[in-house]
Amino acid sequence: MDKVIKGLTTHDSPLNPLKEFTAARVGIGRTGTSIPTKQSLAFKLAHAHARDAVYSVLDIDGLSNDIKQFNLPVLLLHSKAGNRAEYLQRPDLGRKLKKSSANQLKEYTGDYDVSIIIADGLSAAAINENVIGLLNHLIPLFTAANLKLAPVCFVEQGRVAVSDKVAHLLNAKLSVILIGERPGLSSADSIGAYLTYGPKPGLTDESRNCISNIRPQGLMFKPAADKIFYLIQEAFRMKLTGIGLKDNQGLIGH
């Protein structure tokens, strides 16, 4: 048994069984009035990973190459935020599309069912590591349902609402933006998926549905893809997303 000045060690903690279900800091123990050195260093390392995630950069070349397997055009776009510092200080600019990117999209306007947008958000690292794993499950579901897909759009320095402009210019009925979530101290690699039916500039968050914490240690790729696809089917059936669209999948009697 570990020896401590006072209280429980990490070895003794009755909270240890919870560690099987979460990466959160439970049962870290204490040494006197502080936490053990090992746990203190682990906290600092997690904080460094979170900061690195915020300043990470999309691997456009690698991701574009991986997406070729889906036989979809790939477009590279940019928000009005010129760099990372401006993106963090001016969230409004991350929601707007750069003029040259908007003009580029006009060349691809069509009649699409779904527009897939991929944005760095607050963790490009999450996108680099996990988005292809999610798309490997998601795009075949779209294909099997005969949904017409717009070109896949990467948006650098993008926030969720930039998807409204992108999908609107492409003339897509529904947008799915896959974006790096704000990194926590136990999850710097989470993807959030936001769905919007009838996307157009000016919409706010009550018009969207979100599936969060998509990553191998959270909501895994296949169940995440199944959930996204279920909500999209419901969105097309009800012709809406947001607060009016409830997740009733798997409920008894539904």
Q: Which of 169, 35, 153, 45 is nearest to 99 (CA)?
A: 169
Residue 70: domain span: 60-238
- In-domain check, residue 10: no
Q: Kindly state the DSSP code that residue 39 receives in the 8-state scheme.
A: H
- Under a CB-based contact definition with an 8 Å cutoff, are residues 8 and 30 in contact? yes
Residue 140 counted as domain residue: yes
What is the CATH classification number for the domain harbouring 188? 3.40.50.11240
> Do 172 and 236 touch, CB atoms closer than 8 A?
no
244 lies in some domain: no
Across the strands, what pairs with 214?
A: 191, 219
Distances (CA, A) of 71 to 33, 38, 67, 134, 152: 59, 48, 8, 16, 10
Residue 254 lies in a domain: no
Number of domains in the chain: 1
Residues 6 or more apart whose CB falls under 8 angstroms from that of 103 comprise none
Per-residue model confidence (pLDDT) at position 13? 66
> What global pTM score does this model have?
0.83
Is 190 inside a domain boundary? yes
Kindly list the averaged pLDDT for each block of 10 residues, start to end, along the chain of length 254. Answer: 44 68 69 73 55 72 95 97 93 96 96 98 94 98 98 97 98 98 75 97 95 94 97 97 88 48
Residue 18 domain-assigned (yes or no): no
Q: Do the Cβ atoms of 152 and 74 come closer than 8 Å?
A: yes
Residue 208 placed within a domain: yes
Residue 162 resides in a domain = yes
Q: Is 28 left (phi over 0), alpha (psi -120 to 50) or beta?
A: alpha
230 three-class SS: helix
| DSSP of 130-173 | HHHHHHHHHHHHHHHTTPPBPPEEEEET--TTHHHHHHHHHTEE
Closest to 211 in 3D by CA, of 240, 241, 238, 188: 241
